[in-house]
Amino acid sequence: MINIADVARHAGVSTATVSRALSGGHHVSPATRLRVEASATHLGYVVSSNASSLASGRMKNIGVVVPFLNHWFFASVVEGAQQALQRHGYDLTLYNLTGGLEARRSVFEHFLLRQRVDAVIAVSLELTENEVARLHALNKPLVGVGGPLAGVRTLTVDDLAVARLATEHLIALGHTRIAHIGGDKAFDLDFNLPTNRRFGYEAALVAAGIEARRDDFRPADFTTAGGYQAAKQLLGRPHERPTAIFAASDEMAIGSILAARDLGLVVPRDVSVIGVDDHELATFFGLSTVAQFPQQQGEKAVEVLMEELRPHPESRTGLNVNMPFELIVRGSTARPAV
């Protein structure tokens, strides 16, 4: 393995100069810089990140922690983050908290603390105060995606506003019986996302002078199958069937469309359906939805971190960064039949 001394010898300079020339090139004359770079590429030299990190204290590596990966949303966030990091010359080390409490502790006690990462991105993860404190104590920046997280900069979409937007879309079309499929308690652990969406839904109804009926709400588990079940219940009632369904995720919305079809109902003639996410299957099903952009969220998380990692974080923006969302109208929503 060829090291910095080899390059120095070959270029006829000291290792100090090589180091400076290859990292930014400050305080090095253009001529020598060029010479060093030539030698480096000629010899096929690549810095040892370990030695570099040990000496400098910078790891050039970010830890990303997700609850699971096996899901469109998380995978997209990670993908976005990965690409952004690559542009910045950083590595991404992935941690998964699926393994239960044991795995979770192990991640925090050993992996993250092993001086491996400069900072941490926590995706849809409700960290305990202890965990946050530990990270802070190590002076490691932490940004959350999906939040808020006490004392942590977090990127969030305003779930309340998202839900309101979706519901208002239906109201504007003339619907007055609008059902909602949200999350059950188990999913509320993560930042009350389902609750917020439900509140947004109710707020929109109330603002329009529509009563939010308790039996127009069904909890489900954010899967297609769960949405299907819930929609069947909602649409199968003999009287007062809702003319529109707002599902808190696209997968549940797709389940609803399939349920409607199986009941012989035509979407959107008999029932309008709208979701949240802009899942990859949304286009295929012609699903109207409020898009959030997970990949973009991953990228943005990286930008925020990079800023925080800069020596003089002068322009620290506020704690919470609001992420964009957007109503995308496709074929699954229309005026109710008269």
Q: Which stretch binds DNA (CB under 7 A): 25-33, 72-80, 136-144, 314-322?
A: 25-33
Size of the site for DNA (CB under 7 A): 32
Peptide bond into 148 cis (omega under 30): yes
Q: How far is the CB of 247 from its own copies (least distance, A)?
A: 15
Count other Cβ atoms within 10 Å, centred on residue 26: 8
Between 148 and 286, CB nearer to its own copies = 286
Tell which residue, 147, 114, 146, 108, has the closest CA to residue 130: 108
Give the span between the Cα atoms of 241 and 227, in whole angstroms. 16
Q: Which two tokens stand for residue 50?
A: 């370990």
Interaction of residue 297 with its own copies, rule CB under 8 A: no
Q: Does 15 bind its own copies (CB under 8 A)?
A: no
Return d(Cα 153, Cα 140) in angstroms, integer: 12
Q: Which of 280, 276, 308, 281 is nearest to 292 (CA)?
A: 276
Residue of the chain from 41, 42, 54, 133 that contacts DNA (CB under 7 A): 54
Among 115, 128, 317, 322, contact with its own copies (rule: CB under 8 A):
115
Cα-based torsion angle of the residue sequence 9, 13, 14, 19 in order, rounded to the nearest 10 degrees: -100
Q: What is the largest CA-CA distance in the chain?
A: 88
Out of 34, 37, 67, 111, the only residue in the binding site for its own copies (CB under 8 A) is 111
Nearer to its own copies, 223 or 320 (CB): 223
Residue 128 binds: one of DNA, its own copies, none (C-beta under 5 to 8 A by kind): none
If binding is defined by CB under 8 A, does position 42 make contact with its own copies? no
C-beta neighbour count of 111 within 10 angstroms: 15
With CB under 5 to 8 Å by kind, the binding choice for 20 among its own copies, DNA, none is DNA
Q: Choose one: 21-29, 158-166, 224-232, 268-276; the region binding its own copies (CB under 8 A).
A: 224-232
Residue 292 binds to its own copies (criterion: CB under 8 A): no
Taking CA atoms, 253 is separated from 72, 111, 138, 179, in Å, by 15, 38, 43, 12
Cβ atoms within 10 Å of 129's Cβ, excluding its own: 10
Query: 115 vs 322, which CB is nearer to its own copies?
Result: 115
Q: Judged by CB under 8 A, which of 136, 261, 316, 335 binds its own copies?
A: 261
Write down the H helix ranges in the chain.
Answer: 4-11, 15-22, 30-43, 49-56, 72-87, 100-106, 129-137, 159-173, 185-188, 193-207, 224-236, 250-262, 294-309
Does 123 bind DNA (CB under 7 A)? Our answer is no
Give the interface segment with its own copies, choosing from 5-13, 68-76, 166-174, 190-198 (CB under 8 A).
Answer: 68-76
- Separate counts of helices (H) and strands (E) for the chain: 13, 12
C-beta separation of 326 from 291 below 8 A: yes
**Are the CB atoms for 255 and 229 separated by under 8 Å?**
yes
Site for its own copies contains 5 (CB under 8 A)? no
**Residue 228's binding partner, choosing from DNA, its own copies, none, with beta-carbon cut-off 5 to 8 A by kind?**
its own copies
Q: Is 39 in the site for DNA (CB under 7 A)?
A: no
Q: Indicate which of DNA, its own copies, none lies near residue 5 (CB less than 5 to 8 Å, by partner kind).
A: DNA
Residue 19, interface with DNA (CB under 7 A)? yes
Question: Binding residues for DNA, per CB under 7 A?
Answer: 1, 3-5, 12-20, 22-23, 27-33, 45, 47-48, 51-52, 54-58
Chain positions contacting its own copies, by CB under 8 A: 1, 46-51, 53-54, 59, 61, 68-72, 75-76, 78-79, 82-83, 86, 89, 91-96, 98-99, 103, 106-107, 109-111, 113-116, 223-225, 228, 255, 261, 280-281, 283-284, 295
